[in-house]
Homo-oligomer: A and B are copies of this chain.
Amino acid sequence: MHENEVSIPGDERFFVRKGPFSLQQLAKAASAEIYISGKSCGHEGGDHSAVVITGVAPLQVAGQSEISFLDNRRYLSLLKSTKAGVVIVAPAFVDQVPESCVALVTEHPYLAWANVAALYFPFSPPNPGIHPTAIIAESAHIGSGVEIGPYVVIEDNVKVGDGCFVGSHTLIAKGVSIGKNCHIASHVSISHAIMGCGVRLYPGVRIGQDGFGFAVSPNGFVSVPQIGRVIIEDGVEIGANTTIDRGSVQDTVIGAGSRIDNLVQIGHNVKMGKCCIVVSQAGISGSTELEDFVTIAAQAGLIGHIKIGKKARIGAQCGVMSDVEAGSDVIGSPAMPFREFFRNVAALRKLAKKPTN
């Protein structure tokens, strides 16, 4: 097998590519200024105004008819030697762009890349229709332009909004409400949930099962009825095999625009604000609250019943045992400010090296 020797983005077995696009179209999508040989040509492209770009590629394999980008200083050497026809870069790197290459310069190269790549590879809309093997309760309401895959099960009184996609083998249990233009992948299970518009759920997501709630009795554990819901606001994305339990008494809430990665655990009654980021394998215990724009890095864990302030950032593998102030950055287990953590690491290293130890 030699499939991995050449890594070409947009393999046509999996993707449909649009284009080509002109330099001006690309500059517009990127909200970028055109630079040639290190000098600005505004938004038209001067001598290169007739340039046409057929596709995208990484710096190291892109050719004269392709566009690429640099977002991470670590790959600067690849920029210097790229053969790409056009490259998106930050102003600081314009000087490093080869002569042969047109630069699209912007303060936000990754955002520009997102928009340019979406020109060539737009998200595909659903292909409306309901597969004959889908089992849909009579009392369910399915909007217009909805695609429902094979072996889907949709129970009583479910609402699926216009323009949704529901992948194969997914279960939407009774009473669940799903807004417009949601993308629900295969093998998902959803119960006890109210979802907004534009939500994306990846394969194997579990939403709405009982939280981990039980009381101790002399005869063993007694389950506490979990009678809350899961509220997922507009534009949320939830990664593969992630689990979100429904509330015990109050609701579990995922705030609008939040992005949750794969294999994340969200306990019952968690309230997450808008545009939070939770990276893979992180876990948030019951009743903890995140204000808006909180970032939780991979494998971090938060105990229950605490509050994380607006724009706080929780580092990877961090163990958070108490409230975190808005705007602060913490790491370590137990969590502490970034600077303190690295000062501790250095102090301990120094101590352990002392000959008297």
Contact = CB atoms under 8 A, between A and B. Distances in A.
Interface of A: 1, 3-4, 7, 9-11, 13-15, 56-58, 72, 74, 108, 110-111, 113-115, 117-118, 120-123, 133, 135, 149-151, 153, 157, 167-169, 171, 174-175, 177, 179, 185-187, 189, 191-192, 194, 196-197, 202-204, 206, 209-210, 212, 214-217, 220-225, 227-229, 231, 233-235, 237, 239-241, 243, 245, 247, 249-251, 253, 256-257, 259, 261-263, 265, 267, 275, 279-281, 283, 285, 298-299, 301, 303, 305, 316-317, 319, 333-334, 336, 340, 343-352, 354, 357
Contacts of A298: 265, 283, 285, 301, 303
A169 B171 contact: yes
A316 B303 contact: yes
Given A11-B175, A114-B215, 15 more contacts: A1-B196, A1-B233, A9-B247, A11-B192, A57-B249, A108-B216, A108-B217, A115-B222, A120-B227, A168-B171, A169-B169, A301-B316, A317-B333, A343-B357, A348-B352
Contacts of A280: 212, 243, 265, 267, 283, 285
A319 to B, nearest CB: 5
Say how many copies of this protein the assembly contains: 3
Contact of A243 (B122, B222, B241, B275): B241
Given A350-B357, A351-B351, A111 B171 contact: no
Nearest to A222: B114
